[in-house]
Chain A
Amino acid sequence: GAVVSQHPSRVICKSGTSVKIECRSLDFQATTMFWYRQFPKKSLMLMATSNEGSKATYEQGVEKDKFLINHASLTLSTLTVTSAHPEDSSFYICSASRQGMNTEAFFGQGTRLTVV
């Protein structure tokens, strides 16, 4: 069964509003989670690394004030898309790994965001 749960799976919001996406590790603690964005027929692009109890680390070109990340507990990270615009419409996916270096990343189900 799923070990990383992401919610919601689909969301439609109006331009200018904010949307929060949750990512939970279900049966393990994750000090680090990752947020990806994926455009149609493209691969996953890492947006940021979410660190429990500290600030997220953003990849180059990703606006930290637009994509707010909070990792308040060892099992939950949230991504908030603030003041959303149509160009933010995309598929957002989170991932987490169990402790240890050589472990696979488990992915959430993904969130299809449509901004109208």
Chain B
Amino acid sequence: GQNIDQPTEMTATEGAIVQINCTYQTSGFNGLFWYQQHAGEAPTFLSYNVLDGLEEKGRFSSFLSRSKGYSYLLLKELQMKDSASYLCAVKAAGNKLTFGGGTRVLVKP
């Protein structure tokens, strides 16, 4: 079966850094994705990891350790507009994505 865990909610201050962890246990692994979703909108793609290590893209970075079944999304220099839900998703067989429960991040001034 598929099991993807991430914290439900996190709060951080504008300008700070927040790290969102994701652990997974899946049958098959073809990559891990992070998506951002604002309330009432569709998810938008942030990052993709298939090999171990860190992928950096501007203020956002994502890390993967396949042996540990672990990933994190790092958000730097937080802005108010970063308040959103962040979804960890694993691609297993074919193109099927299984999502974690999502982490709501609240950025405070």
Contact = CB atoms under 8 A, between A and B. Distances in A.
Interface string A1-22: 0000010000000000000000
B27 interface: no
How many A residues are at the interface, by size bracket? 20 to 34
Contacts of B33: 104-105
Interface residues of B, number: 25
User: Quick one: which of A45, A103, A104 has the most chain B CB within 10 A?
Assistant: A104
B21 interface: no
Interface stretch (A63-71, A77-85, A106-114): A106-114
B96 A46 contact: yes
B40 A108 contact: no
Given A110-B41, A110-B42, A42 B95 contact: no
Interface of A: 6, 32, 34, 36, 41-46, 49, 91, 93, 95, 97, 101-110, 112
Closest 4 CB pairs of A and B: A107-B42, A43-B102, A104-B45, A44-B99
Interface of B: 30-31, 33, 40-45, 48, 50, 85, 87, 89, 91, 94-102, 104
